[in-house]
Amino acid sequence: MTAARIASYTLADFDFELPPELIAQHPAAERSGSRLLDGTGAAPVDRIFRDLPSLLDPGDLLVFNDTRVIKARLLGIKATGGHVEALVERVLPGNEVLMHLRASKSPKRGQRVRFARSVEAAMSADAHSGFDAEVLGRAGPEESLFHLRFPSDPQALLERHGHVPLPPYITHADDADDERRYQTVFAARPGAVAAPTAALHFDQGLLDALTARGVEQARVTLHVGAGTFQPVRAENLADHRMHSEWFEVPQATVDSIAAARARGGRVVAVGTTTLRALESAALAAAPGEVLAVGARDTRIFITPGFEFRVVDLLVTNFHLPKSSLLMLVSAFVGHARMQALYAHAVEHGYRFFSYGDAMLLQREAGLLQRSTALAPARQ
C-alpha cells in the first residue's frame, strides 16, 4: 500500500460503539443455528447459518482452516512462590515453547516455573499435579515473549494441565462445553491458541448439505496466535507491526483452487485466518505461480486498497473495534459497506466476537490492481 493510501484512513475510522450485551459469552445452542448476516446483495439480509448452502453455487470451493486449539493457558508459581499466568504462543522443536507470561516479577534465565491447572495444584507436593519448566530467556518482538523448555512433549503436558484459552472478553472460566465448542468439528493440527471462529458454525449436517449442493471443500492450516485479539494502537496504520503466525497451504488445496477457477467456481474463505493464509501464499508465489505451496510465517496486514488475488467470498464473525481483522473486512467489502453492515448488526441484535454470529461477504469489485500488504509473507 502506498503511504498516501494508508494515510487516507486513521485508527478512528475502525472504531464503533458496541453494547456490552451483544458480546457473546456462550455459543448458540446449535453450531449451524447461529445467525448469518448475508451481505452479498445490495441490502443486508438476516438469515440462519444453515442457509449457507443455498447462497453458494455448485462448483464453488470452501476453504477451511483445520488448525486445532491447544489448551494453551497455564497457571503456576515461581521458585520464590510468586504466582504466574501464562499463555503458550507457539510450540517449538525440542520441547520448547514461546509464551506470554504475567507475574509480579518476571522470571530470569535459568529459573524454573512450576505449571499446573491451578496455583493450588502447582503448590502441591504431588509430583503428578504439574510440571517444572526452565526459563531459557526472552524472545519475540521487543522481547515480549518468554522462551521456556518443558520436561517432555508440550502438547501432552498442555492437554493434561492447561486450560482452553478463551478470549479476554469471555468472562466465565473454561469448562467441558468450551473444550467442545471452542473447537471446529474438523480440527486436525494442534497449534492454535485461538479458534478460527467462523468455522465454529459448521457441523457435520451442514458439511453434508454443502457436499450435496456440489460445493467442494479444501483445507489450509494457520495456527492462530494471541495477537489476533490485540487492537491496533498506531494512529498511523503504516506504523502498526503485525504479529507473526505460521501457516501452510498444501499442494492439494492449490490444485483445488485451480480446478474451481477452471470451472467458473468461486473461492470462499471460511474465516479471516483462511483468507490471510491464502493471500499470504499468493504474495509469496514465484513468477508463474498463483500460490506458493508449503509452510512459512506471515505478518500480512490487510487494509483498504489491498488487491485480493485468491478469495472471492468470505465467511467471518464480527470483529473487535480497532482490530486488524476489522480492517481486513473493510478492505474486502469497502469501508462504507463495512460500516453499514456493522450498524445493521448492532441495530438487529447480532451477537459479536468468537462465540457470536457470522456474515457472508462478497469481495468489492474494482479494487486496486496492486499488492497493499504492509508486510508480505516471508519464506
Q: Report residue 363 as a C-alpha cell.
A: 469481495
Mean pLDDT, rounded, of the chain: 92
pLDDT computed for residue 94 by the predictor: 97
The 10s digit of each residue's pLDDT in 74-95 is 999 998 899 999 999 999 999 9
Question: Which fold does the domain 73-161 belong to in CATH?
Answer: Thrombin, subunit H (2.40.10)
Residues 6 or more apart from 235 whose CB is under 8 A from it? 10, 11, 12
> Region 166-171: what's the mean pLDDT?
95
Spell out a b/e string for 128-157, using b for 16 or more CB atoms within 10 Å of the CB, else e: ebbbebbbeebbbeeeebbbbbbeeebbeb
Q: Do domains 3-69+179-362 and 73-161 have the same CATH topology?
A: no
Q: How is residue 355 written as a grid cell?
A: 462465540
**Cα Dmax for the chain:** 65
> Mean pLDDT over residues 208-231, rounded?
93
At residue 370, the pLDDT reads 32
pLDDT confidence tier of residue 341, bands split at 50, 70 and 90 = very high
* Residue whose entry in the numeric block shows the C-alpha cell 485508527: 11
Answer whether residue 6 shows pLDDT above 50.
no
Q: Helix (H, G, I), strand (E, B), or coil: what is residue 91? A: strand
Asked whether 25 and 172 are in contact (CB, 8 A), the reply is yes
- Give the pairing type, strands 73-78 and 112-116: antiparallel
Mean pLDDT of the 355-374 span = 69
Mean local confidence (pLDDT), 273-293:
96
Residue 233 has pLDDT above 90, yes or no: no
- Kindly list the domain boundaries of the chain, sorted by start residue: 3-69+179-362, 73-161
Lowest mean pLDDT among 198-202, 224-228, 284-288, 344-348: 224-228
Quote the pLDDT of residue 373.
Answer: 37
Q: State yes or no: pLDDT of 372 exceeds 50.
A: no
How confident is the model at residue 367, as a pLDDT? 45
Question: What is the pLDDT, as a whole number, of residue 241?
Answer: 84
pLDDT of residue 227: 79
CB 133 within 8 A of CB 115: yes
What is the grid cell recorded at 156? 501432552
Q: What is the pLDDT of residue 376?
A: 35
CATH number of 3-69+179-362: 3.40.1780.10
pLDDT at 169 over 80: yes
- Residues above pLDDT 90, as percent of the chain: 83
**Could you give the angle at the alpha carbon of 184 between the alpha carbons of 179 and 186, nearest 5°?**
120
Residue 272 grid coordinates: 479471516
For the chain, the distance separating the N- and C-terminal CA atoms, rounded to the nearest angstrom, is 21
- The pLDDT of residue 193 is 96
Give 33-75 pLDDT, tens digit per residue.
999 999 999 999 999 999 999 999 999 999 999 999 999 999 9
How does pLDDT run across 103-159, given as a tens digit for each residue?
Answer: 999 999 999 999 999 999 999 878 788 999 999 999 987 788 999 999 999 999 999
Cβ within 8 Å of residue 157, ≥6 positions away? 115, 131, 150, 151
Determine which of 138-142, 338-342, 358-362 has the lowest per-residue pLDDT on average.
138-142
Q: Which triple of cell numbers denotes residue 135?
A: 526459563
Render pLDDT for 110-119 as a digit per residue (tens, 0 to 9): 999 999 999 9
Q: How far apart are CA 351 and CA 77, in angstroms?
A: 37
pLDDT at site 226:
85
**Neighbouring C-alpha atoms within 13 Å toward the C-beta of 225:** 20
Among residues of the chain, what percentage have pLDDT more than 70?
94
